[in-house]
Chains A and B, each alone.
Chain A
Amino acid sequence: MNFTKPKEKYINNFNEFEKSLNGEADSLLHRIRKNAIEAFDRMDFPTLKNEDWKYTSVSPILENNYVSKKDTAGSESFKAKIEDHLIKGLDVILLVFINGSYSKELSRIPDLSGGVKIGSFAESARKDPALFNEHFAKYARLENGFIALNTAFAQDGAFIYIPDNYVLETPVHILNISGTRGANILSQPRNLIITGKSSRLCMIESYHSTENETNFTNVVTEISAGENSNIEFYKIQDESSRAYHVSKTQAEQKKNSKFTSYTVTTGGGLVRNDLNTLLNAEGCESHFFGIYIGDGKQHIDNHTMIDHAKPRCLSNELYKGVMDDGSRAVFNGKVFVRPDAQKTNAYQSNKNILLSKEAHVDTKPQLEIYADDVRCTHGATVGQLDEESVFYLRSRGISKENAVSVLIRAFANDIFEEIKTEQLKEHLNNMIFRKLKEIV
């Protein structure tokens, strides 16, 4: 049998891609791409032998032949579908990506004042090369084949720049939607977020499918949080159960910055999220919240890393999961406290509820501490829904299904407690509620 290894396919695709670039081939961006494809060639895709991928086999992803759609023709047909995924009652700056490509027609970007720049990656690479080159690929290291592949094909995505002392009141919603009947789509968005000193940004990255085809999203988001800036970052994963999603979000925080992240996963057949932050100066704060609900054969893997490199930083992480049927979850939360990072406060917790005998969770909180004057706690639990509580609710006339749903929502409740934007909170709660309706 003539069998091309997946790696070779992607390298061939890169060669085709390169030919289509014409004049751009000498740019710094392209030199970074070339370097990345070489790294990809050396590393290949991770396998179960790789410690960081021990519980997640990517081979189902690699079985398909994907196509990358470069145009957004027919984007009109997505218009109605996008409406379903907007956050009700919330005024946002909207960036829409269809099959990984920026759709100018469907995006809604108001006139921006004060030097704020929000648009597509491709456009900003052209229009603001200095700013772009200063930050692009400076944060997400090529630590595995997926990141290398994304970097090699980096072409489109969102670009956000908030200058010093600017408070952007309106959240930015980066809405990604994939699906073309009869095709397996590969999208590789590359997002770059830069915030200046004492600035403020709230952003939402959401992922959705239209058709029930097998699509693959391989996304990398780089975030540079300026001194004393405040970033709220929401990642919403609501793709079809046949979609594959691999992501890397890398933040780097400057002095006294605050980065709060929410990862909400209800969709996707195989999901792997890597969320990292580097607390690279004193006085930083990071908050990681996550909720994942799986059923059927879903596989949801959250790897997080909080790297305390400097003293007097605080990190707080809480991830919760509910798994039903034969679904499987992985949580791996690393907290590094480097020798310099005295007076670190780091808290981490992962809690899971299994609703069926076949559901499975592998949880691994990991603390590595190289400083002596620190306060760190971590813990993980995996359990069932409390039978006594279910009976209590039923004995008041509440159906079994509702009782289970109420208790799960109560379990998940504290994840969203801190969200100040009511519409967003409501949106996320509804998303959880809809998913629970499907499973119980």
Chain B
Amino acid sequence: MLKVKDLYVSVENKEILRGVNLEINLNEVHAIMGPNGSGKSTLANVIAGKEGYTVTSGEIIYEGKNLLEMSPEDRAREGVFLAFQYPVEIPGVSNATFLRTALNEIRKYKGEKEMDAREFLAYMRDKMKTIEMDETLINRPVNHGFSGGEKKKNEIFQLAMLQPKLAMLDETDSGLDIDALKIVAHGVNKFHNMNNSVVVVTHYQRLLNYIVPDFVHVLIDGKIVKSGGKELALELEEKGYDWVRDEESVKETL
């Protein structure tokens, strides 16, 4: 589904990613872990198409297409989704209007019929139920005045509404208490099925207790230095990132 090949990315002439390789197949959950500043968010942002990043070499192939040549909206329409670490507040636009606009643009792109207000409402109600989204949040302006937890919940609600194929969650656990964390994880687990894949970008192992990954990758200094199963996350939690770092430098000196 997604192949990241030897990806080098800089921001303002500073190299952030230095040869990332990653392959994600359908019906998989991947966790990308790493210390602050290792390039985790950069990788997620580059896949989503955020401006301000220069890809100096490498490529990203998504369902056989060159993702780097596509606009952010086309990536989204093709099924790429990023849950933001810091969701943006948009005063003056209601959540419902925003989602209906998004959903219908995606449907139009796929050649599907646009949803009218009634169909949309029914669809939205259904999704709200599955992820226990508060009705009052729907009619409020997008993220405006939302608490940290409500913003993250809203990201997951969007995920449920838009039904992407590749869902990337960028530090969705940051700033959440344990109850909010469980609700968010529950939403992601409800979303995940054999027709999609999930990438969880996180600093801590905590979230992975609730969203259990098939694969764990450790990103340090812009490179994936270690990959493994879910037990790798636990090992990291116990031994810290220095353990992988030391192991790496040993490998390099050998």
Instruction: Collect the chain A residues with CB atoms within 8 Å of residue B106's CB.
Output: 397
User: Residues 287-316 of chain A: 1 if any B CB is under 8 Å from the residue's CB, otherwise 0?
Assistant: 000000000000000000000000000000
User: Residues 105-127 of chain B: 1 if any A CB is under 8 Å from the residue's CB, otherwise 0?
Assistant: 11001000000000000000000
* B residues 27-59 touching A (CB-CB < 8 Å): 48-51
Binding stretch for chain A, among B4-12, B18-26, B72-80, B229-237: B72-80
Instruction: Collect the chain B residues with CB atoms within 8 Å of residue A79's CB.
Output: none
Instruction: Collect the chain B residues with CB atoms within 8 Å of residue A410's CB.
Output: 90-93, 141
Residue of A395, A400, A412, A414 with highest tally of chain B CB at under 10 A: A395
A51 interface residue, CB < 8 Å from B?
Answer: no
B247 vs chain A, min Cβ distance (A): 36
Binding stretch for chain B, among A120-128, A221-229, A350-358, A385-393: A385-393
Q: Closest A-chain residue to B143, C-beta based?
A: A392
A387, A389, A394: the one contacting B90 at CB < 8 Å is A389
B50, B76, B84, B90: the one contacting A397 at CB < 8 Å is B76
Please measure, in the bound complex, the distance between the C-alpha atom of A389 and the C-alpha atom of B109, giving whole angstroms.
22
- Beyond contacts A392-B90, A394-B72, A396-B158: 14 other A-B pairs, Cβ-Cβ < 8 A, are A386-B88, A391-B50, A395-B73, A396-B76, A396-B102, A397-B73, A397-B77, A397-B103, A397-B106, A398-B73, A399-B73, A400-B71, A410-B91, A413-B91
Q: Closest A-chain residue to B87, C-beta based?
A: A392
Instruction: Collect the chain B residues with CB atoms within 8 Å of residue A398's CB.
Output: 73, 101-102, 105
A392, A411, A412, A414: the one contacting B84 at CB < 8 Å is A392
Instruction: Collect the chain A residues with CB atoms within 8 Å of residue B81's CB.
Output: 395
A369 interface residue, CB < 8 Å from B?
Answer: no
Q: Which 4 A-B pairs have the closest CB atoms?
A: A410-B92, A413-B92, A397-B76, A396-B102
B166 vs chain A, min Cβ distance (A): 12
Instruction: Collect the chain B residues with CB atoms within 8 Å of residue A412's CB.
Output: 92
A407 interface residue, CB < 8 Å from B?
Answer: yes
B189 vs chain A, min Cβ distance (A): 22
Instruction: Collect the chain B residues with CB atoms within 8 Å of residue A413's CB.
Output: 91-92
B155 vs chain A, min Cβ distance (A): 10
Are A400 and B101 closer than 8 Å at their CB atoms? no
Instruction: Collect the chain A residues with CB atoms within 8 Å of residue B243's CB.
Output: none
Instruction: Collect the chain B residues with CB atoms within 8 Å of residue A394's CB.
Output: 49, 71-73, 76
A402 interface residue, CB < 8 Å from B?
Answer: yes
Residue of A387, A389, A397 with highest tally of chain B CB at under 10 A: A397
A437 interface residue, CB < 8 Å from B?
Answer: no
Instruction: Collect the chain A residues with CB atoms within 8 Å of residue B98's CB.
Output: 393, 396, 406
A434 interface residue, CB < 8 Å from B?
Answer: no
Instruction: Collect the chain A residues with CB atoms within 8 Å of residue B92's CB.
Output: 409-414
A415 vs chain B, min Cβ distance (A): 10
Instruction: Collect the chain B residues with CB atoms within 8 Å of residue A389's CB.
Output: 88, 90
Instruction: Collect the chain A residues with CB atoms within 8 Å of residue B72's CB.
Output: 391, 394-395
Please measure, in the bound complex, the distance between the C-alpha atom of A412 and the C-alpha atom of B93, giving whole angstroms.
11
B246 vs chain A, min Cβ distance (A): 37
* B residues 125-172 touching A (CB-CB < 8 Å): 141, 158, 162
Please measure, in the bound complex, the distance between the C-alpha atom of A383 and the C-alpha atom of B76, giving whole angstroms.
28
B188 interface residue, CB < 8 Å from A?
Answer: no
Residue of B48, B51, B72, B99 with highest tally of chain A CB at under 10 A: B72
A387, A392, A399, A409: the one contacting B105 at CB < 8 Å is A399
Are B101 and A402 closer than 8 Å at their CB atoms? yes
Residue of B73, B75, B90, B98 with highest tally of chain A CB at under 10 A: B73
Please measure, in the bound complex, the distance between the C-alpha atom of A292 and the C-alpha atom of B40, giving whole angstroms.
43
B82 interface residue, CB < 8 Å from A?
Answer: yes
20 contacts between A and B (CB under 8 A): A386-B88, A389-B88, A391-B51, A392-B90, A393-B102, A395-B73, A396-B76, A396-B98, A397-B77, A398-B102, A399-B105, A400-B73, A403-B73, A406-B93, A406-B98, A406-B101, A410-B91, A411-B92, A412-B92, A413-B92
B127 vs chain A, min Cβ distance (A): 14
B75, B88, B91: the one contacting A392 at CB < 8 Å is B88
B185 vs chain A, min Cβ distance (A): 22
Instruction: Collect the chain A residues with CB atoms within 8 Å of residue B91's CB.
Output: 410, 413
Please measure, in the bound complex, the distance between the C-alpha atom of A402 and the C-alpha atom of B105, giving whole angstroms.
10
Please measure, in the bound complex, the distance between the C-alpha atom of A177 and the C-alpha atom of B169, giving whole angstroms.
55
Instruction: Collect the chain A residues with CB atoms within 8 Å of residue B77's CB.
Output: 397
B63 vs chain A, min Cβ distance (A): 16
Are B105 and A395 closer than 8 Å at their CB atoms? no
B48 vs chain A, min Cβ distance (A): 5
Q: Closest A-chain residue to B50, C-beta based?
A: A391
Are B82 and A397 closer than 8 Å at their CB atoms? no
